Amino acid sequence: MSAEAHSPKRWNEKRKESLSGYLFISPFFILFAIFGLFPMLFSFYLGFQRWNGLGEMEFVGFQNFVFVMEDPIFWKSLWNTIIMGVLGTVPQLIVAIFLAFALNSALVKFQSAFRAAFFLPYVTSTVAVAIIFGVMFSSQDFGLVNVFFNLLGLDSVNWQTNEWGVKIAIAVMVFWRWLGYNTIIYLAGMQGIPNDLYEAATIDGATVWQKIRFITIPMLRPIIIFTIFLSTIGSLQLFTEPLIFLGGNLREEGITVVLYLWREAFSNMAFGTASASAIILFLIIIVFATVNSLLANKVFK
């Protein structure tokens, strides 16, 4: 065989293999170059131009970035995004761990029925979720949440205009749609934890809370960090829920970073500042995803 390795035939075979390799990946990579890679790189060019999408581009240096950084609405959108992200994901991940723990208990029957029920919201489109919850969180007295509030003797809330009302309503949508998804991911991780550990803890008289704190969470660490990473990235890209909930007139209480850049581009036709804000969003996502993963790494040690 080794003699053959140097023969022309073998060499030819190797060349044919490379050629097939390139041929097999080329349909994908051609499309990827045009619709994936080029747009990403071109954004960095557009960020330095003034352009309305039709006329000539004009180089303006860092002006677009300065404009965005000095725009109070941009900072408002970043603040909103972060608050809604925290409200929508932190309670969600905590509840998901408890739900998964309950579901993983050996006592539970109908496990697959519960799994299907928890997962159902994730199959629903974000638009549908925003519409359904938008009606529940109607600012009118007949909105379901306000009816409930009135029953408790509380006043109706103007969910669509109240500074915190908007954020809570949107956070609830995020919470509802993703809770089951993360529960199932945690459950998959928990099924890998040996039952002996829990049994030993039970014999030692550990409470449920102690089992979660000292067995489940440390064993799930990589998965928890992964879900924090994904939730961070996902919540910084929040767009559909506030757009549907607030309708055409984007109110400042609910504008997010992606809504800001979408509005710059397609309402204001300011493609330069929109690109600049896309680049800033990209950097923010890198920073937050890194910091949150590092923090999670420390906390769950």
Partner 1 sequence: MSNVISKISLYAVLVIGALLSIFPFYWMFVMATNHNSVINSVPPAYLPGPELVTNFQNVLSNIDFFGAIGNSLIVATISTIGVLFLCSLAGFAFAKYHFKGKNLLFGLLLITMMVPPQLGLIPQYYIITQLGWLNDLKAVIVPGLIDAFGIFWMRQYISSNVPDELLDSAKIDGCSRIRVYWNIAVPIILPAFATLAIIKFMYMWNDFLWPLVVLRDESVHTIQIALRGLIDAYVKDNGMILSGTFWATIPLVLIFLLFNRLFISSLTQGAVKS
- Residues 25-84 contacting partner 1, CB under 8 A: 25, 27-29, 31-32, 34-40, 42-43, 46, 53
| Of residues 80 and 275, the one with the C-beta less far from partner 1 | 275
Q: What angle do CA 48, 51, 57 make, to 5 degrees?
A: 75
Tell me if 178 contacts partner 1 by CB under 8 A.
Answer: no
| Of residues 98 and 300, the one with the C-beta less far from partner 1 | 98
- Distance of closest approach, residue 158 Cβ to partner 1, in angstroms: 16
List Cα–Cα distances, 54 to 44, 50, 116, 261, 263, in angstroms. 19, 11, 49, 18, 17
Positive/negative CA dihedral, 52, 57, 60, 65: positive
Among 63, 240, 293, 297, contact with partner 1 (rule: CB under 8 A): 240
- Distance of closest approach, residue 233 Cβ to partner 1, in angstroms: 7
Tell me if 295 contacts partner 1 by CB under 8 A.
Answer: no
| Of residues 25 and 295, the one with the C-beta less far from partner 1 | 25
Neighbouring residues of 190: CB distance < 8 A, sequence distance ≥ 6: 100, 101, 104, 216, 219, 220
Tell me if 149 contacts partner 1 by CB under 8 A.
Answer: no
Among 5, 69, 94, 188, contact with partner 1 (rule: CB under 8 A): 188
Question: What is the amino acid identity at position 109?
Answer: K
Among 69, 94, 144, 295, contact with partner 1 (rule: CB under 8 A): 144
Among 48, 137, 198, 262, contact with partner 1 (rule: CB under 8 A): 262
d(CA 201, CA 199): 5
DSSP string, 179-192: HHHHHHHHHHHHTT
Does residue 121 contact residue 177 with C-beta atoms inside 8 Å? yes
Among 131, 201, 212, 219, contact with partner 1 (rule: CB under 8 A): 131
Tell me if 8 contacts partner 1 by CB under 8 A.
Answer: no
Name the token pair of 169: 């309503």
Residue 62's CB is within 10 A of a number of other CB atoms, namely 11
| Of residues 162 and 237, the one with the C-beta less far from partner 1 | 237
- Distance of closest approach, residue 282 Cβ to partner 1, in angstroms: 5
Among 1, 142, 155, 298, contact with partner 1 (rule: CB under 8 A): 142
Does residue 40 contact residue 258 with C-beta atoms inside 8 Å? no
- Distance of closest approach, residue 259 Cβ to partner 1, in angstroms: 10
